[in-house]
């Protein structure tokens, strides 16, 4: 490694001392009471995203030491290396250049190639959107992981500007319960299938694409070349499948960073070329912010540093994401891949085992639904789980009464998490639904909230393509930041290989017709296999 790992720095030691002295016990209520300027000190305006970081368990010294840590770990140099196209994905010997996909013409690396594909992709998207001529009513994206989660998140997020004459379907799972109900709703004559796979070898996608092609032919479909298109880096394999219209991308685009590439085709068809370009422009604005803003006021950097503080000092193991916008219902799933596939690693760049925690579990649901499910645990459970609220000021519907209720709930939840409620306060409250057979103090204890539970609130003016682009890019760079400090490769995903290989080995045993072959299997797998074959 060219730069020290976080735990080999002076700042890390200083942070350990600071945590013991002022971090572990920091009380947010006292911190706000002590410092009337705390909100101003811990809020940031980045392109399209305003962030309130003040309800987090840190102080100015924590932040300074974390910035020192970032500098000592060479965060700026690592960032610049990524942006310059150096092969920072060392285990695969690849550059990491998703930022080049959203740079304006002439500005980024590989600009001619990028804009050549983009222009062609957008022209194709417009031709599909011209439904009177294309005759298309349904677009089915067949892909998984990064070839699914981005489009599947963005299309509903921008629902208000989605082409009203087109329906969008996403098939990812190799479980036939995914594709089957979709096919039942389709007419082969008016359906466009997008086979989205960077490698064009992924088992799930290839199997579903084969099912779709067989269905298409069985329905009397005749022109596979017109009804199937591909988004892939493997143009030869797509051609072998029978796909003639392909949109390529490059090995320097990681799967989970690929919605800006040809993988974004369903998005481009859904929202049109102008809005797709706005999505890219929003991401580019965040890229510029990440590349140039001082670390102290750099939003993705600040979020990444806070992640390190929480994971390695407070030892929090998860983070919950609560978007108070129903359109962002798939954002938590998208972020799971982005963060957990990127930073769920246990060795550093040199292959040395890490003595500290890396990726937290990222999970969540849109508010207010989550409030009626797991927020109980966030408020009164035994674990502290930082929550990330996402609020959108101006909705894309006209139900003002609903919008103000959603926003009031969003603010109230972060307030309640922080303020809590003392047993004394609970004692003097009325609790009409509490059992009369219990003593007052017992009831009050059940109604006590510890408080001091941290949260971040991200605020968007409106969920426009530009704002969404900036928000996603912010998350990408945040993941980069924590990964860089941990000294890991955030851009490979060897952890998915073993299960793939074992599934490949089990498949013939499951599909076989003779006696079940359990040679070499552990007793549990053998037992389950026997039951499935019985
Ligand atoms: O889950 C592993 C993975 O390689 C992801 O990183 C990727 O997004 C997904 O599989 C799909 O891969 P492909 O686009 O090659 O089908």
Rounded (10°) angle between helices 60-72 and 10-18: 160
User: For residue 147, which atom of ligand 1 is closest to its CA?
Assistant: 14
Residues 391, 375 share a domain: yes
The number of domains in the chain is 4
Q: What is the pLDDT of residues 188-197, one digit of tens each?
A: 999 999 999 9
For residue 524, give its domain range: 507-534
CATH of the domain at 321: 3.40.50.10490
Residues 360, 326 share a domain: yes
Residues 107, 241 share a domain: yes
Residue 493 near ligand 1, beta carbon < 6 Å: yes
- Residue whose Cα lies nearest atom 6 of ligand 1: it is 255
Mind giving me the DSSP string for 210-269?
Answer: HHHHHHHHHTT---HHHHEEEEES-HHHHHHHT--EEEE--TTS-GGG-TTTGGGHHHHH
- Residue whose Cα lies nearest atom 16 of ligand 1: it is 197
Q: How far apart are CA 398 and CA 15, in angstroms?
A: 48
- Write down the catalytic residue from 13, 22, 244, 372: 372
Tokens describing residue 321: 């994401």
Give the pLDDT of residue 1.
73
> Is 329 labeled as catalytic in the residue annotation?
no
Residue 199 near ligand 1, beta carbon < 6 Å: yes
> Is 405 labeled as catalytic in the residue annotation?
no
> Is 500 labeled as catalytic in the residue annotation?
yes
- Write down the catalytic residue from 341, 365, 388, 476: 341
**Closest alpha carbon to 204 in 528, 492, 496, 530:** 496
Domain assignment present for 500? no
Q: What is the pLDDT of residues 47-92, one digit of tens each?
A: 999 999 999 999 999 999 999 999 999 999 999 999 999 999 999 9
Residue 89 near ligand 1, beta carbon < 6 Å: no
Q: Are 371 and 417 in contact (CB under 8 A)?
A: no
For residue 117, report the distance from its CA to the centre of ligand 1, in Å: 21
- In three-state secondary structure terms, 322 is strand
Q: How far apart are CA 255 and CA 150, in angstroms?
A: 10
Domain assignment present for 200? yes
- Dihedral in degrees, nearest 10, Cα atoms 283, 287, 290, 293: -100
Residues 201, 341 share a domain: no
- In three-state secondary structure terms, 434 is coil
Residues 295, 248 share a domain: no
Domain assignment present for 499? no
Residue 490 near ligand 1, beta carbon < 6 Å: no
Residues 145, 110 share a domain: yes
Average pLDDT over the chain, rounded to an integer: 97
Residues 384, 320 share a domain: yes
* Cis peptide preceding 368, ω within 30 of 0: yes
Residue 202 near ligand 1, beta carbon < 6 Å: yes
Give the pLDDT of residue 2.
84
pTM attached to this predicted model: 0.98
Q: What is the pLDDT of residues 274-307, one digit of tens each?
A: 999 999 999 999 999 999 999 999 999 999 999 9
- Residue whose Cα lies nearest atom 10 of ligand 1: it is 145
Give the pLDDT of residue 217.
97
Residues 309, 269 share a domain: no
- The segments of the chain whose pLDDT lies below 50 read none
Residue 149 near ligand 1, beta carbon < 6 Å: no
Residues 138, 109 share a domain: yes
Residue 248 near ligand 1, beta carbon < 6 Å: no
Residues 295, 243 share a domain: no
Strand residue runs (E) in 358-412: 361-364, 387-394
In eight-state DSSP terms, residue 359 is P
Domain assignment present for 107? yes
Domain assignment present for 501? no
């Amino acid at each position: 490694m060219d730069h020290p790992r976080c735990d080999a720095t002076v700042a890390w030691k200083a942070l350990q001392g600071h945590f013991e002295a002022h971090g572990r016990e920091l009380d947010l209520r006292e911190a706000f009471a002590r410092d009337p300027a705390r909100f101003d000190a811990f809020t940031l305006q980045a392109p399209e995203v305003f962030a309130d970081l003040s309800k987090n368990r840190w102080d100015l010294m924590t932040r300074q030491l974390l910035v020192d840590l970032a500098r000592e770990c060479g965060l700026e140099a690592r960032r610049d290396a990524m942006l310059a196209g150096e092969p920072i994905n060392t285990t695969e010997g690849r550059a990491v250049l998703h930022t080049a996909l959203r740079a304006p013409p002439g500005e980024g690396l590989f600009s001619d190639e990028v804009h050549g594909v983009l222009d062609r992709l957008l022209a194709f998207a417009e031709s599909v959107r011209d439904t009177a001529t294309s005759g298309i009513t349904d677009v089915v994206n067949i892909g998984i992981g990064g070839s699914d989660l981005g489009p599947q998140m963005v299309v509903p997020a921008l629902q208000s500007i989605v082409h009203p004459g087109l329906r969008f379907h996403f098939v990812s799972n190799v479980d036939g319960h995914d594709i089957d109900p979709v096919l039942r709703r389709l007419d082969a004559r008016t359906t466009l299938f997008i086979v989205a796979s960077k490698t064009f070898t992924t088992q799930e996608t290839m199997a579903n694409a084969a099912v779709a092609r067989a269905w298409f032919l069985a329905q009397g479909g005749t022109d596979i070349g017109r009804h199937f298109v591909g988004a892939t880096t493997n143009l030869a394999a797509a051609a072998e499948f029978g796909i003639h219209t392909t949109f390529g991308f490059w090995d320097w685009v990681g799967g989970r960073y690929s919605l800006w590439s040809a993988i974004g085709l369903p998005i481009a068809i859904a929202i049109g070329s102008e809005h797709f370009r706005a999505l890219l422009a929003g991401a580019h604005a965040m890229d510029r912010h990440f590349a140039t803003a001082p670390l102290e006021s750099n939003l993705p950097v600040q979020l990444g540093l806070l992640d390190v503080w929480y994971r390695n000092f407070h030892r929090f193991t998860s983070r919950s994401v609560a978007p108070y916008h129903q359109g962002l219902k798939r954002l938590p799933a998208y972020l799971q891949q982005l963060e957990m596939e990127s930073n769920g690693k246990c060795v550093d760049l040199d292959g040395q085992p890490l003595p500290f925690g890396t990726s937290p579990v990222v999970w969540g649901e849109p508010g207010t639904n989550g409030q009626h499910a797991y927020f109980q645990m966030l408020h009164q459970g035994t674990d502290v789980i930082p929550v990330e609220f996402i609020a959108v000021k101006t909705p894309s519907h006209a139900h003002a009464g609903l919008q103000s209720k959603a926003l009031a709930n969003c603010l109230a939840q972060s307030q309640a998490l922080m303020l809590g409620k003392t047993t004394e306060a609970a004692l003097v409250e009325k609790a009409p639904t509490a059992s009369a057979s219990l003593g007052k103090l017992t009831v009050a204890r059940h109604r006590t909230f510890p408080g001091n539970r941290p949260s971040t609130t991200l605020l968007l003016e409106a969920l426009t393509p530009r704002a969404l682009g900036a928000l996603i890019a912010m998350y990408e760079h945040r993941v980069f930041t924590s990964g860089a400090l941990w000294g890991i490769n955030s851009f490979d995903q060897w952890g998915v290989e073993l299960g793939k290989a074992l599934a490949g080995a089990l498949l013939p045993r499951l599909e076989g017709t003779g006696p079940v072959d359990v040679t070499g299997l552990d007793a549990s797998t053998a037992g389950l296999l026997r039951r499935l074959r019985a």
